[in-house]
Structure 1
């Protein structure tokens, strides 16, 4: 990803907010539905999918494997064909692409090569590679023990699947990858997690839900998931807004005061971003549903309360919560997020470094962060090609003048025009 020539000046709020923000579709749901469309028995129409770097990388991967993808007024239309190689696939820095696509590519006929950004070669891949090999796949991969990108899959047009054990303690995506492709495996899959605490369980629940919505039988037990072979239905799929991407905008109501509203907030969802309702309430906000709109109003006295919270099920929310904790009047502890060390960057180290750069006080713990109240100052915040570190800095900048964001363009990974949306929320011209 190209770094911008100069840092983006994060705007400070000049008055309490009164804004309604239309958030793009969920990245997690978009990329799951895109992959299932490659296996569907009829064309799939995705309504209001996310348009971002991550979804573009998934679309390009599917096209390389033979899927036809066309734009429509409402979103995308996908028509499948027998998956084929040879193919060269760029995973960028998208975890859903680098982990989901290999499980799909074993169904293709031919040689499939997958690589990504330099940091992608450092991200955990071993469990999904080992699981596919245990199920019979022939995969050549780089790194220690041949368990990282780039990798080459030698596929023959079909795949048996079956029972397999894997350690998904580094990422729930290892489980979701096998589940999503399993309907097209001759024996489906029977996955058993063997390892430490499993992070981001809502994402596995999301995978099970989208499979069931497409007519696939899924059985779940403790640390075990069985997906039966069967037909994946096509049809019309409406994608929920991305609730985690809504997080920075809702957090802005606490940082700047006033109210921010996000329309189309689902009444029930498997998205981890829904945890924000409780988290922001604990930090002093008033959170309420107004029809299908979620409204968050900052504390009347402007004081943000720190909190002790387990984010095992919502690690992706940690940078947003950390930004508010850095502005809070009391100490905070974020737990259950050791796995964030293997994300787009080492997010725990990055957050500690950047909070410190801003004059704050933060330290790593074995499974998270501790953040103390401090008087912050403006600084140029590094983003490490990580979209959530960029939005962390933007939140802090609402209250702290002089914050700049290095390479704010990295937010295009999940939000194509974050700077414009952010300034629009403030009533400013982009």
Structure 2
């Protein structure tokens, strides 16, 4: 494998010189990969995670689990048609559960799934587990998880900050029980408690008591993956009380999990077809999924494109005309930066609603999008819970990313139609989308970009 060349501090976003026609193989879902790793680590027997995402976030998760004592063996099958045991080809990680132990330090980077999913796991370890991360991680909300874990019997030293850095004093078990939590800032607060709950002595009953709960598809993803691993979960969708989830104590089974492509990471490539009037095919798009990114089929169709699920994958076609949209993104907030980028190039005003919680993501995404699009000549204003975008003729300039991967891909989308856009720190896309710059230029050249190509870093 050839070494990936260093990226410039200011990456010139390529300008599209015509309609894009390409097949883009998107790496695996970060959300699925990191949930699968946690569930496999807590299982009673070894399991497999196949076609995982290899990115900074998933590497942080796997490194943290190894530090806690979990065995993770990485293998690669050269066969794309499958192996002798009937499993799919590509990269596969064999997860070997073990007695969790400290003392050790977990580096969460700026990964929400690591900083929130692993403290409950750490309560099951013997010894102290210290959690630390990037400077931005100190500012991201974690207090609700800390308070909930204390209610369930955990001992946590955070010097009263309700945030990182902190130390979980693992006792080898956690009593569990009923807990109330305000998860209006992040659905990950609920998922964090549910994922480890089968290992708690009493399981858990989580009651959300705050305002609107964002990103419900991610909670549904957590529930489905728990059930696939053998957990008993009672949910509001199953006729239970509103915003109450119950997980019974019990052993988790080692499973053979195949990770879906990350549909949210397909967004910039689909946007390229919409903007240029081209066609992009994303192989292996699931016909049924809990991923929020599946909403792109509806949203981008309303904005002027068309799509079809075929045996080849999702085939998305644009006309080159982009319409504004008034849309509630509360369940799919992570799509907001890419939708905002497309909306800035539309033929009418857009209003993006229901995403006030994005102010607490990798960066304040609402403020960042407003500042950066306006710096290129756009007209974006923040609302109480979103953005109002009035399209204007834009010009080149530096598009800052704030170490946020979705800001970087949003800037690249604008750069397709606006000459002279330079993305500051495009390397931040490695958080969830390894080798994005190469995939982007390959797409514009009409090549089949993605993890199967030389130098790529992840299976789809």
| TM-score where L is the length of structure 2 | 0.91
Q: 1:412 aligns with which of 430, 440, 449?
A: 430
Q: How far apart, in 1, do the equivalents of 2:298 and 2:271 lie?
A: 12
Report if aligned partners of 1:307, 1:331 keep a CA contact under 8 Å in 2: yes
Give the match for residue 241 of structure 1. Answer: 261
Give the match for residue 36 of structure 2. Answer: 33
Number of residues paired by the alignment?
424
Q: How far apart, in 1, do the equivalents of 2:226 and 2:53 lie?
A: 19
Give the match for residue 397 of structure 1. Answer: 415
What pairs up with 1:93-104 in 2 under 5 angstroms? 93-104=110-121
Give the match for residue 134 of structure 2. Answer: 117
Q: How far apart, in 2, do the equivalents of 1:186 and 1:417 lie?
A: 43
What pairs up with 1:83-162 in 2 under 5 angstroms? 83-142=100-159, 145-162=160-177
Q: 1:282 aligns with which of 302, 309, 312?
A: 302
Give the match for residue 82 of structure 2. Answer: none
Q: How far apart, in 2, do the equivalents of 1:217 and 1:426 lie?
A: 47
Does 2:192 match 1:194?
no
Runs (4 or more) in structure 1 with deviation over 2 Å come to 3-6
SS in structure 2 of the partner of residue 399 of structure 1: coil
Q: How far apart, in 1, do the equivalents of 2:246 and 2:41 lie?
A: 21
Once the 2 structures are TM-superposed, how far is the Cα of residue 292 of structure 1 from its aligned partner?
A: 5.1
Does 2:358 match 1:343?
no
Q: How far apart, in 2, do the equivalents of 1:289 and 1:5 lie?
A: 37
Q: 1:165 to 1:292 in 2, by over 3 A?
A: farther
Note the residue ranges of structure 2 that are not aligned, 5 or more in a row.
1-5, 77-90, 237-241, 450-460
> Larger relative contact order (C-alpha < 8 A, sep ≥ 6)?
2
Report if aligned partners of 1:8, 1:404 keep a CA contact under 8 Å in 2: yes
Q: How far apart, in 2, do the equivalents of 1:175 and 1:419 lie?
A: 34
Q: How far apart, in 2, do the equivalents of 1:118 and 1:154 lie?
A: 23
SS in structure 2 of the partner of residue 148 of structure 1: coil
SS in structure 2 of the partner of residue 159 of structure 1: coil
Give the match for residue 58 of structure 1. Answer: 61
Give the match for residue 401 of structure 2. Answer: 383
Q: How far apart, in 2, do the equivalents of 1:126 and 1:404 lie?
A: 37
Q: How far apart, in 2, do the equivalents of 1:288 and 1:377 lie?
A: 34
| TM-score where L is the length of structure 1 | 0.97
SS in structure 2 of the partner of residue 404 of structure 1: strand
Q: How far apart, in 2, do the equivalents of 1:229 and 1:163 lie?
A: 13
Q: 1:173 aligns with which of 188, 191, 195?
A: 188
Once the 2 structures are TM-superposed, how far is the Cα of residue 235 of structure 1 from its aligned partner?
A: 2.7
Give the match for residue 298 of structure 1. Answer: 318
Give the match for residue 200 of structure 2. Answer: 185
Q: How far apart, in 2, do the equivalents of 1:289 and 1:360 lie?
A: 34
Give the match for residue 227 of structure 2. Answer: 212
